[in-house]
Structure 1
Amino acid sequence: MSEGATHSRTADAHAVDGRRFREVLGNFPTSVVAITTTDGEARPHGMVVGTFTSVSLDPPLVSFLADRSSTTLRTIRAAGRFCANALAGNQERLSRQLATGPAGQRFDSAMWHASDLGNPVLDGIVAWVDCAVERVVEIGDHLLVVGRVRDLRVESMKTPLLFFRSGYGDYLSSTSVLMDRLVGWDEIGR
């Protein structure tokens, strides 16, 4: 028997419970991304994910994971398209609204414009990636949605919103802090 097979059996004997799994993985910071689309009547739909990632440069592909029960995911699959909006550090309220608000009220007071594909691009974000659905793969209790990038843009130099240890925060690059100190910008406003 190989060492790998022995290790695999040992790992199975020590199954990981869901609570511990979430607790430990909460120590891996994730970006906060709003996935948006519109339905057949051009009404906006959206959800928040912490699983958005690049998949391939050639062809340009990205992906995210969504719970099988997501109503927004059903709308995305029907539309065949979505836009990934990287939320800015000052958009925690919008994130909470898109993540937990009633589906029909998630875009109340949210400002946005339609991408060329017709997906909502939210105002005030860091960047966006507009995609056509390439493939949907069943994985555990989630679905992996792979999108072929059709357009993308950096909207601002704001810091991104992050989720870490069950809380929101934003990212501040140590390089940015150093540059601000060298230029003297950190003294402005004191």
Structure 2
Amino acid sequence: MKTIEPSEFRNALGRFATGVTVITTVDEAGLRYGVTANSYNSVSLDPPLVLWSLANTSRSMEAFAACKAFAVHILGAHQEELAMRFASRGEDKFADLDTREGFGGVPLFDDCVAHFECVAENRFEGGDHQIFLGRVVNFEACDHEPLLFHRGRFAKVRSG
């Protein structure tokens, strides 16, 4: 059996174009948390389930591991700056951002391609990540073009 080098594996995975999401939650003290993730997937239509994963080393892991609700925001091509903000290690990623309160008090961003408000159903160990399963209780969608991630960079859908 071949030894799989993590850097080569990551490089090969990067060949698959994905959408870009920001996942948000709030803790019992009212502190808001958010992370950029491209490890998002639909699981089931009935019941409506989605999943995403977060590195065990993430500074937001404790908050997401304890959360009762979260929201998945699918970002539009015009939201690259938002993706970068939530991919950073900044202290207050929500500073100067307009949000509204969603299910469970979770912060929601307007003007995304879609967002899914979820009850945190389950969490599974997945190697160096945790996999979060959410039951969708509300969602909104619009017709914006999505922001994509491919080979380590942001990309946009090409017309025509």
Question: TM over 0.5, yes or no?
Answer: yes
**What amino acid is aligned across from residue 144 of structure 2 in structure 1?**
K
Distance 2:74 2:19 in 1: 7
The alignment's TM-score, normalised by the length of structure 1, stands at: 0.79
In structure 1, runs of 5+ residues without a counterpart are: 1-11, 178-190
Choose from 138, 160, 167 the match for 2:153.
Answer: 167
Report sequence identity in percent. Answer: 31
Query: Deviations for 1:18-38, whole angstroms, at most 9, x for unmatched residues?
Result: 111111111101110000011
Q: Which has the larger radius of gyration?
A: 1
Conserved? CA contact 2:103–2:118, under 8 Å: no
User: For residues 55-134 of structure 1, what are the structure 2 equivalents within 5 Å?
Assistant: 55-102=43-90, 104-134=91-121
The alignment's TM-score, normalised by the length of structure 2, stands at: 0.93
Distance 1:114 1:73 in 2: 21
Superposed CA RMSD = 1.4
Conserved? CA contact 2:148–2:155, under 8 Å: yes
**What amino acid is aligned across from residue 74 of structure 1 in structure 2?**
E
Distance 1:140 1:45 in 2: 23
Structure number with the higher helix fraction is: 1
Query: Deviations for 1:136-171, whole angstroms, at most 9, x for unmatched residues?
Result: 0001111110011111111x3111111101110122
Distance 1:15 1:55 in 2: 30
Conserved? CA contact 1:130–1:150, under 8 Å: yes
In structure 2, runs of 5+ residues without a counterpart are: none
Structure number with the higher strand fraction is: 2
Distance 2:59 2:8 in 1: 28
Distance 1:78 1:140 in 2: 19
Conserved? CA contact 1:32–1:86, under 8 Å: yes
Q: What SS does the aligned partner of 2:81 have?
A: helix
Q: Aligned pair 1:44/2:32, yes or no?
A: yes
User: For residues 1-20 of structure 1, what are the structure 2 equivalents within 5 Å?
Assistant: 12=1, 14-20=2-8
Distance 2:89 2:112 in 1: 19
- Greater RCO, 1 or 2 (C-alpha within 8 Å, sep 6+): 2
Hey, what does 1:23 align to over in structure 2?
Answer: 11
Conserved? CA contact 1:77–1:133, under 8 Å: no
